Amino acid sequence: MLVLGVETSCDETAIGIVEDRFALRANVVASQAQLHGPYGGVVPEVAARAHLDLMLPTIDRALVEAGAHLSDIDAIAVTAGPGLAGALLVGVSAAKGLALARDVPLVGVNHLRAHVEAAQLEVGALDPPLAALVVSGGHTSIVVMDADGSFRQLGATIDDAAGEAFDKIARFLGLGYPGGPEIDRLSQGGNPRAYHFPRAMLHDGTYDLSLSGLKTAVIRELRRLEAVGEEPVLADVAASFQEAIVDVQAIKTLRAVADEGLEQVVLAGGVAANRRLRARMQADCDERGLRLIVPSIPLCTDNGAMVAASGANLLAAGHLDDLSLAVDPNLPLAVATEPPG
């Protein structure tokens, strides 16, 4: 059974094809990063226009990669949320057009959940319960996949997503967009203890995070140095900022794992490509004897294969959507795409 997954929730037009839930057949991403670079962030109308331009070519590339034709596709999965409404709507409309024309089932997928389920394309069936840190330009969420395969959110950023904080600081430092890889690269030669930046909400008893104050603290420090005529060591600033972000995420995630009595952690989302975050999560998990699952980078960043995988799981559980499937920019993790029963 071949499922084609459509992902347009943010600034990647992505199509994936998955066979029998676990086998990756194609994973094609048309990135719009160049279009949004001048703004230092994703512009919704620019993204929606680009999704429409890129949709058919990306579908074609994925079919070529899979060595398949649309007539071989057995179901269409599509991200219904969370994400940018106008961007999501292009993907959902295209998915409905495909499903109607080929007379195959349509299933709406939760983007966050798909990020976690992407791991099944590399490690096989996930064996919940497990915790996951989903961290990207749009999300910083700590979620739990329970033994029955259902998901719940334990905590999330109350202001900036991690990727967004990276973008904004990168922009302030005059680095490129997206900011995450730039900060990662610059941090390699820097001292993560050179500057002390705040770790907010560490002891508030929740699993929520706040990254906006950290961003402000970095900017304030740079302005202070400028005022006293001191040249900041950018590598040190980047490394110290990155260390603070990584610290907060690792501490909150590991606390959730301990409190929930879990033994496995999935690290997913585009920011999972950050080398310091991967290393820190690996070290913390090793220390506690936990299993850390980190999908390879093409399955961490926004992609269509994860949508196809998540959709295949839902279909296997007997769930499907009708053609009135709506997009929901704030789609909650635990409803709408939950299998019945």
Partner 1 sequence: MLILGLETSTLRSSVALADRDRVLASASLGVPRRHGEFVGPAIRFCLEQCGLAADRVTGVAVGLGPGLFTGLRVGIATAQAFAAARHLPVVGLSGLDVLAFQERYTDRLICAVIDARRGELFWAFYRAAPGGVQREGGLQLGTIDTLVAELIATGEECLVLGDGALAHRELLEDAEVVVAGPDVAWPDAADLAELSVPRFLREQTQQPLDLQPIYLRAADARIGWETRGRMHGGRQQPTPPTDRS
Interacting residues with partner 1 between 141 and 180 (CB under 8 A): 156-161, 164, 168, 171
**Residue 144: which of 340, 334, 337 has the closest Cα?**
334
Long-range contacts of 45-49 (CB under 8 A, 24+ apart): 45/86, 47/10, 47/11, 47/84, 47/86, 47/87, 48/84, 48/86, 48/87, 48/89, 48/90
Ranges of beta strands (E only) in the chain are 2-7, 12-19, 23-31, 75-81, 106-110, 130-135, 140-145, 151-156, 264-268, 291-293
Q: Does residue 107 contact residue 76 with C-beta atoms inside 8 Å?
A: yes
CA-to-CA distance for 201 and 93, rounded, in angstroms? 40
Based on the shown chain and the rule CB under 8 A, indicate whether residue 30 belongs to the binding site for partner 1: no
Based on the shown chain and the rule CB under 8 A, indicate whether residue 33 belongs to the binding site for partner 1: no
Among 17, 77, 95, 114, binds partner 1 (CB under 8 A): 95
Give the CB-side neighbour count of residue 291, counting CA atoms within 13 A.
12
Taking the complex as a whole, the smallest distance from the CB of residue 160 to partner 1 amounts, in Å, to 5
* 16 versus 149: smaller Cβ distance to partner 1: 16
Q: Does residue 46 contact residue 35 with C-beta atoms inside 8 Å?
A: yes
Taking the complex as a whole, the smallest distance from the CB of residue 163 to partner 1 amounts, in Å, to 10
* 95 versus 309: smaller Cβ distance to partner 1: 95
Taking the complex as a whole, the smallest distance from the CB of residue 212 to partner 1 amounts, in Å, to 6
Q: Which range binds partner 1 by CB under 8 A, 83-91, 180-188, 227-235, 297-305?
A: 83-91
Interacting residues with partner 1 between 39 and 78 (CB under 8 A): 39-46, 48-49, 52, 55-57, 59, 70
Based on the shown chain and the rule CB under 8 A, indicate whether residue 109 belongs to the binding site for partner 1: no
Distance of CA 86 to the CA centre of its chain: 19
* 138 versus 295: smaller Cβ distance to partner 1: 138
* 121 versus 199: smaller Cβ distance to partner 1: 199
CA-to-CA distance for 177 and 175, rounded, in angstroms? 7
Give the total of residues touching partner 1 (CB under 8 A): 57
Based on the shown chain and the rule CB under 8 A, indicate whether residue 129 belongs to the binding site for partner 1: no
Say how many C-beta atoms besides its own lie within 10 A of residue 98's C-beta: 19
Interface with partner 1 by CB under 8 A: which residues? 38-46, 48-49, 52, 55-57, 59, 70, 82-86, 89-103, 138-139, 156-161, 164, 168, 171, 212, 322-327, 329-330
